[in-house]
Amino acid sequence: MTAAVLIEYIIKSGIILLGMTVGFAYVTYYERKALARIQSRIGPNRAGPWGILQPIADAVKLIFKEEFVPAKSDKLLFLLAPVITVIPALIITAVVPWGRSVTLFGHQIHLYLANVNVGILYLGAVASISVYGIVLAGWSSNNKYAMMGGLRSTAQMISYELALGLSFVSVTLLAGSMSLVDIVEAQGAHGFLGWIIWNLSQPLGFIIFLIAGMAETNRSPFDMPEAEQELTAGYHTEYSGMKFALFFMAEYIKIIAISMIASTLFLGGYLGPFVDKIPWLGPIYLFIKTLIMIFVFIWVRATFPRFRYDRLMAFGWKVLLPLAFLNMFIAGIITVLVGG
Amino acid sequence: MFIVELGRGLWTTLRMMFEKPVTVQYPEVKRPMHARFKGRHNLHRYENGLEKCIGCALCAAACPSDAIFVEAAENTDEVRYSLGERYASTYEINMLRCIFCGYCEDACPTEAIILGDNYELSFTDRRQAIYTKEMLIMPVPAGGRPTPQKVEPGKFDRSIPAMENPKD
């Protein structure tokens, strides 16, 4: 590994980390604006033109807030929990490709950080880690509401992770590979028509992935762990200042990550018209697709009320899991018929 | 059928995105007040500039939250504030106590105190919440003279001004 390659990887990692944190700030803005429009309001418009400095104002406010640690909490875990939650969210998109490859300063640079041959497995594994942070936050706070929030998040994860994993499996079956680069290329292998067939074969998988992804990110209507009406703020009841901001950050970065993964697995990722000729269009297509997916998240939040706790579990086990199996079965039949 | 209902819900929220926002940009744009809105009190004057308030303190007696404090003093022809025998030398309303019920307005025999349309009452200190007579009294109308006025003797001889039936 030469120095140039090392620098290239460091820059790419920096872009992901920076992009995710800035993206987090502006997803909150995007969400507030979109929610406001859905509710016939305007949304933030005071800080800067059209309120675009609002996330920065929020960040400054959170930095200067008092950091409060409850007296009888488990101090070490209380400090560790936000970190455990936010780091998987930051690194999960490392395997998501943004484009093919470009030539820059005489080097051929691939527009992805890592082309792991078990990329899907990596996604599933990293996505599950952050639930530990939530459970530990709930437990270490020494607060009954936080505890209940943490417990709920575990139960929710168990119910939904299986369906999420099975929707990954059907995509893997169709593409014949677990690498996300291969999956994107498999969607574009037979031109636009091939992409349409890919999507027609996977509408169920896409919906299962979306629902499970919403549960994974603890988004409404599956925001059980932080159900305000029942649990004050759930697992982050006792958190304040930047520690609270880290939980917030993890939630929103996971929205970006799930949207990027959804675009990659089901909407063709960086593929689009003319992407063969101009490789720089790849990241732009991925960005647009991700924005649309994030809008779907916000839209669903604005529309549906929260599920009841037991119904959520019942829905996960009795509806989503059988449907995911059915979808895997369909994907298997298609693979056999088309020949993979 | 459940799926159809979900779709209808999503369609409703999506449709709302294209409706005009109902937000009023408050400090720049203000909505017009209703005619009978009960905001901050005003102490009114007659057309000649004399104060309507005669310092009877009926408003203070009627006030359910004990927000009004009135101290009366004697009028003379040299130093005349109001039509009657006496005038309010001190008139204070504690806006932290006031509940804007309008009983003071009902109690007033001379229609001196009327709740206006100013609702932008904010203070950063408890002492600022006490509105004095200078803050509450209306400006002198055109053609009137400011109080205290020097008037010719014998013109104002009633202890309280002549009453009229209330007009709206």
pLDDT greater at residue A292 or residue A108 = A292
Sign of the four-CA dihedral A87, A88, A93, A95: positive
ipTM (interface pTM): 0.70
Q: B13 — contact with chain A (CB < 8 Å)?
A: yes
| Residues A195, A196, A199: CA angle, nearest 5 degrees | 90
pLDDT of amino acid B68: 92
How far is Cα A165 from Cα A125, in angstroms, rounded to an integer?
A: 10
The tens digit of pLDDT for each residue in A196-214 reads: 666 666 778 888 888 888 8
Average pLDDT over residues A137-157: 84
pLDDT of amino acid A340: 47
pLDDT of amino acid B69: 93
User: What are residue B87's DSSP bridge partners?
Assistant: B73
How far is Cα B69 from Cα A122, in angstroms, rounded to an integer?
A: 74
From the list B9, B10, B21, the residue facing A41 with the nearest CB is: B21
Task: Set out the domains of chain B in order of their start, with CATH numbers.
Answer: 33-156 (3.30.70.3270)
Share of chain A above pLDDT 90, in %: 0
CB under 8 Å to A43, separation ≥6 — which residues? A32, A33, A34, A35, A36, A37, A51
Q: Which domain holds residue A145?
A: 3-338
Rounded to an integer, what is the distance from CA B8 to the centroid of its chain? Answer: 50
The tens digit of pLDDT for each residue in A274-330 reads: 767 777 777 888 888 889 989 998 898 888 888 887 888 888 888 888 888 888 888
- Domain count of chain A? 1
User: What are residue B131's DSSP bridge partners?
Assistant: B93
Beta strands A107-110; B68-74: pairing state: unpaired
Residue A230 has pLDDT above 80, yes or no: no
Residue stretches of chain B with pLDDT short of 50: none
Which amino acid makes up residue A306?
R
Share of chain A above pLDDT 70, in %: 93
Contact assignment for A41 to B22 by CB distance below 8 Å: yes
Identify the CA nearest to A149 among candidates A243, A209, A239: A239
State the CB neighbour count (10 A cutoff) for residue A61: 11
Average pLDDT over residues A70-95: 85
How far is Cα A157 from Cα A152, in angstroms, rounded to an integer?
A: 8
How far is Cα A256 from Cα A252, in angstroms, rounded to an integer?
A: 6
Phi-psi region of A179 (alpha: psi -120 to 50; beta: other; left: phi over 0): beta
A296 sits in which H/E element: helix A281-303
The tens digit of pLDDT for each residue in A20-53 reads: 888 888 898 999 998 888 888 888 888 888 888 8
pLDDT of amino acid A226: 73
Closest-CA residue of chain A to B19: A40
The tens digit of pLDDT for each residue in A168-204 reads: 888 888 777 888 887 777 777 666 666 666 666 677 8
Span of A230-234, A312-316, A336-340, B152-156 with lowest mean pLDDT: A336-340
Strand, coil or helix: A3: helix
pLDDT of amino acid A2: 80
Global pTM value: 0.78
Q: B165 — contact with chain A (CB < 8 Å)?
A: no
Q: A319 — contact with chain B (CB < 8 Å)?
A: no
pLDDT of amino acid A193: 66
Contact assignment for B13 to A303 by CB distance below 8 Å: yes
Closest-CA residue of chain A to B20: A40
